[in-house]
Homo-oligomer: A and B are copies of this chain.
Amino acid sequence: MTDRPLPAGATIGILGGGQLGRMLSVAAARLGYRTHIYEPAANPPAGHVADRVTTAPYEDLDALAAFAEAVDVVTYEFENIPASALDALEAHRPIHPNRRALTISQDRLIEKAFLRDLGLQTAPFAAVDDAEDLAEALAEIGCPAILKTRRLGYDGKGQARLNGPEDADTALAAMAGAPSILEGFVNFSREVSVIAARSATGEVAAFDPGENIHEGGILRTTTVPAQLTNAERTDAVLLAGKVLNALHYVGVMGVELFVTDAGLVVNEIAPRVHNSGHWTQNGCAVDQFEQHIRAVAGWPLGDGSRHADVVMENLIGDDIDRIPDLAREANTAIHLYGKAEARPGRKMGHVNRIVTKG
């Protein structure tokens, strides 16, 4: 794996059949590989562009073993894969990015502690298992603060905001007994993210940071270039490299950052391709999906060169009805995910608007 690339025609197994798996699958094909998708839900978007699909739950250890035997290497499009499933897979094939990256990113408390131990800035945080912990944490961190379950949670789910100590009981109840973490708010001017990659041979490459706008806890737009000073831009790339190297990581990682007067604060890391990196599809010769496949397949990485300014906009729920208008826009690339039904908050696709210099 580390000394020579996966041979042409080999099969890359992808856990998760959503839009990220779909775009990974297309990138793998572009490099001459086949893909095999493992996904519990029927008719996954990634299945439309994959060579094979296994439909089975993550609890089906036989299906996992058969899947692993049918592929040459395993990667994933999401981080919440049960440990037992990882055990079953790892008995047969290597998984990239590695187990430690998954363990860290599956638990907000472990993730924050890992980042702090690396010398990086995070929001103030404290573990909360019960009312007593929460009272102590509030005393230390202050309000406003946000209580989150340590595990799972996505796009603003499993979170409760506390404007004062009087919100403690309601917030704790919303956690439904799950081990949690209280996080203080960070006073930031903007949120950016760095999509960075590390190869099997330890090479690191980063794309230009993008500037993110969220609405209702869901990413709305990413704009490159982000409004950053040169120093911030350098810091962003260096800290991403620090995280990747510390984990002996192989693959693409999304690193979300807050820009503050006191420097960059790490919001969270995602051990996978990331929504805020979709702009690379139309701004770079090697996009984040191919970069991930390159890393996983033992190729040299693309250097992250960007040849165009891009604004990525997510198409969420009813936004899909705007397609006829979007289709008439010049320099606008449409990427739909092939999902059958538009539901509120559901990511249906995105557009990349290429900003040409006039």
Contacts and interface: CB of A to CB of B under 8 A. Distances in A.
A32 interface: yes
A200 to B, nearest CB: 13
Nearest to A286: B333
Contacts of A33: 338
B29 A22 contact: yes
Given A26-B29, A29-B26, A327 B34 contact: no
A32 B338 contact: yes
A69 B29 CA distance: 28
Interface size class of A (residues with CB under 8 A): 35 or more
A118 interface: no
Contacts of A286: 333
A121 interface: no
B331 A307 contact: yes
Copies of this protein chain in the complex: 2
B324 A31 contact: no
A9 B331 contact: no
B349 A330 contact: no
Interface string A274-303: 000000001001100000001000011011
A1 B134 CA distance: 61
A328 interface: yes
Contact of A34 (B330, B338, B349): B338
B26 A352 contact: no
A110 interface: no
A334 B31 contact: yes
Contacts of A320: 8
B32 A337 contact: yes
Interface stretch (A43-51, A235-243, A251-259): A43-51
Contact of A336 (B25, B30, B333): B30
A305 interface: yes
A55 interface: no
Contacts of A352: 285
A26 B50 CA distance: 10
Given A32-B338, A307-B354, 4 more contacts: A8-B338, A31-B334, A300-B328, A305-B331
Shortest Cβ-Cβ A-B pairs, 8 listed: A32-B336, A285-B333, A49-B49, A48-B51, A29-B49, A305-B330, A285-B331, A300-B327
Interface of A: 5, 8-9, 22, 25-26, 29-35, 47-51, 282, 285-286, 294, 299-300, 302-303, 305, 307-308, 320, 324, 327-328, 330-338, 340, 349, 352, 354, 356
14 contacts: A8-B336, A9-B338, A25-B49, A26-B49, A32-B336, A32-B337, A34-B338, A49-B51, A285-B330, A285-B331, A285-B352, A299-B327, A305-B330, A307-B308
